[in-house]
Structure 1
Amino acid sequence: MVGAVRHLSAAAGGRGSAVRTDAPTPARLRDLMLPIAQHAGASRKAIQARSQEKVDRVLTATNDLLVLAGPSAVTTTSVAARAGVSVGWMYTFFDDREALLEEVLIQGLVDLDERFDEAGFSLAGPNWRTTAAAGIDAFIDFLRTSTRMAGFRVLWFSSEFSGRMVQVNRAHDDALAAYLCDGVTALRSDAPDISLYLMAQTFIGLLDKGFDIAFRTDPSGDNAALAELRRAALAYLETFLR
């Protein structure tokens, strides 16, 4: 489905029954999460500066607990105590524990998309190899150096990365695939006869699995696995793009 993000059903519970996205593909990578975040994570946005400061403390506490003790340590009670807010106040913005974890995931993906934007991640034009490789390298750098999002990384590689969080991540992958395939400008004459959207989804799937292999046991990422990921992902695109 080129040009739009797929509607994805979410697990029951929490905020409604879907992580939704029948929205046009944003023009900038840094905006990919805007429609997705409306249906996941925090149930509302803080308007007042004082409330925003408390929300920031809640998310910092969630991130800290993820890093210190893993996802199982994150509960509404433990986060509220660490952030210095009441559980009742926290429910104003977060429906449950999973909403807290979703918001950490959302903020991490927003940070990643900003890095993609800065790197010029794209499949467009004759220099697509350079811009595709720049996107892969931006992802590697994000996983290696994003200390502000350390909780995101713990969550992404944990066994608790499931349910609604998986739906949010899939919605982001689909949005990224739509963005990338919309930018394609030239195909090989012998390219496989599949949609550009499926091509882009498969490319992103290669990245997701490759990063799992490279980082699951090595916090810095296994260099050999990352080199193979980069080679394999670009070789896959080479069968389509010219």
Structure 2
Amino acid sequence: MSTATVPAARQPTMSPVSKFGATHSLRRLPVQERSAARVRRMLDAAADLIEEVGYDRLSTTAIAQRADVAIGSVYQFFGDKRSLAEALSQRYIDLYFERLAARFDAEPPADWRGGVEAAIDEYVQMYRTAPGFRVLHLADAIDPGRADAVTTGGDVIADQILAGLAQRFGIGGDDELNKTVTVAVETGQALVRLAFRRDPEGCSASIAEAGDVVCDYLARRLP
């Protein structure tokens, strides 16, 4: 598997709100740049604290203190720490696809297998470099327990991969391919989590196995 990576960015370049439409994590959208900057600081603080103490010990008070904002500012935009974690997960989905697109532009994969290997490798790099990423499960970035939830984070990731397959390799989708890619995404995420449970830096054998398993599964539906 290739190990070439796009340099990690501490902050994504996008708005603090996910561009994939999952805005229910925010009570209100920041309109002014000053408000958007506060939200970015809150998300940065949440990421660092999740990395340091874990999600269970995370609190809105600690986030406010770390971000140097009033606790009222936190509740102005987020209902609770779950909403903050969801927004951070959505932000990381955006960052992941920004990095993957930049990687493909710099080094276009020859075929879909190369694209899948690059996608897994970039996901692994996010595990290693993005604070709190390994604690957050992007498949749960959109809370399926909410009444207004119609998709999950895994669905969002699968949709983007399907769009990439069509754009870069001319592979059209149907319902069966949609299901196949969704299963592949969930499987790949689970195997990468296993690799990092076995080794904090990521078990290289398990990561390689993740690529093989996902590619072999997709080969049943892709040319």
Could you tell me the TM-score, scaled by structure 1's length?
Answer: 0.69
Change in Cα spacing, 1:100 to 1:179, as seen in structure 2 (3 Å) is: closer
Residue 135 (structure 1) aligned with residue 135 (structure 2): no
User: What is the deviation of 1:214?
Assistant: 0.6
CA contact (8 A) 2:90 2:141 kept: no
Contact 2:196 2:203 in 1 (8 A): yes
Query: How far has the Cα of 1:82 moved from its partner?
Result: 2.5
Please tell me the residue identity of whatever aligns with 1:37.
A
Residues in 2 aligned to 1:208 and 1:84: alpha-carbon distance in whole angstroms: 34
Cα 1:197–1:156 change in 2 (3 A) is: closer
> Is 2:48 the counterpart of 1:64?
yes
Q: What RMSD in Å do the two structures reach over aligned CA positions?
A: 3.2
What amino acid is aligned across from residue 21 of structure 2 in structure 1? I
Over the matched positions of the two proteins, sequence identity in percent amounts to 28
Q: Determine helix, strand or coil for the equivalent of 2:29.
A: coil
Bigger Cα Rg: 1
How far apart, in 1, do the equivalents of 2:66 and 2:124 lie? 31
Residue matched to 2:85: 101
Alpha carbons 1:104, 1:151 under 8 Å: kept: no
Return closer, same or farther for 1:85/1:218 CA change in 2, 3 Å cut-off.
same
2:158 corresponds to:
177
For structure 2, list consecutive stretches of 5 or more residues without a partner in the other structure.
1-13
Deviation at 1:222, TM superposition (A): 0.5
Instruction: Tell me the distance in 2 between the aligned counterparts of 1:166 and 1:120.
Output: 35
Could you tell which deviates more after superposition, 221-230 or 107-116? 107-116
What is the rounded CA distance, in whole Å, between the counterparts of 1:66 and 1:105 in structure 2?
12
Structure 2 distance, partners of 1:101, 1:165, is: 14
Task: Give the drift of 1:126.
Answer: 7.5
User: Deviation at 1:43?
Assistant: 2.4
Q: Distance in 1 between matches of 2:144 and 2:197?
A: 18
Q: Does 1:38 align with 2:19?
A: no
Aligned AA for 2:205? A
CA distance in 2, matches of 1:143, 1:60: 16
Instruction: Count residues with an aligned counterpart.
Output: 196
